[in-house]
Amino acid sequence: MSTYKDFMNCEPKSFHGTEWFVSLTRWIENAESVFQISFCPDDYKVQFAACTFADAALTWWNNHINTMGIDAANSMQWEELKRKLVKEYCPREEIQNLEQELWNLTMKGSEINAYTARFNDLVVMCPTLVTPEYKKIERYSWVLASQIKGMVIASKPTTYDSAKRIAHQLTST
């Protein structure tokens, strides 16, 4: 079982609440990586993550605690905290712009790394467009360069990671 010290020894990034969606996305990814590395139990993820809040994010969290109570705030599940952070720090108009960008995202030439990186950024902020997994596979595969798209679809990947791996292999050959 992970302790707070184990979590902090992994040097999680602070979230200041002054950044927008990309910084929030990176903070979420970092926190989830630290949870995994430190073997953080689900029941402690929100408490440990909240300790990385600083500045405006800390003020937001303290107001949240004052409203719902410390026990309720600390018993919140990680997915719920992520939804609250997105709601607070990513205005709906921004999310709609990101959803539009995800919907229109295409691979340019053989730029699979740039396409995949932007796709990954966008799906974190727009999960409803790529849930369940088959939608994520379809969205990723459908706009690959045509010669790669056909081969990825024909391989019938069952996970996003397998679709991504196939596309990268085909692009590098």
Same domain, 10 and 63: yes
Q: Which residues contact 87 (CB under 8 A, 6 or more apart)?
A: none
Give the range of the structural domain holding residue 19, as residue numbers without chain letter.
4-89
Structure confidence at residue 172 (pLDDT): 81
Residue 137: both structure tokens together: 């596979």
Give the model confidence (pLDDT) of 81-114 as tens digits: 998 998 888 888 888 998 999 999 999 888 999 9
Structure confidence at residue 87 (pLDDT): 85
Q: Which of 46, 63, 89 is the last residue of a domain?
A: 89
CA atoms within 13 A on the CB side of 126: 23
Same domain, 9 and 51: yes
Same domain, 51 and 118: no
Structure confidence at residue 141 (pLDDT): 95
Residues of the chain with pLDDT under 50: none
pTM: 0.65
Same domain, 73 and 97: no
Structure confidence at residue 99 (pLDDT): 92
Structure confidence at residue 147 (pLDDT): 83
CB of 141 closer than 8 Å to CB of 130: no
Same domain, 85 and 96: no
Domain count within the chain: 2
DSSP string, 10-70: T-PPPB-S-S-HHHHHHHHHHHHHHHHHTT--GGGHHHHHHTTB-HHHHHHHHHHHHHH-H
Structure confidence at residue 109 (pLDDT): 81
Structure confidence at residue 13 (pLDDT): 95
Helix (H, G, I), strand (E, B) or coil at 97: helix
Separation between Cα atoms, residue 83 and residue 166, nearest integer Å: 31
**Which amino acid appears at position 5 of this protein?**
K
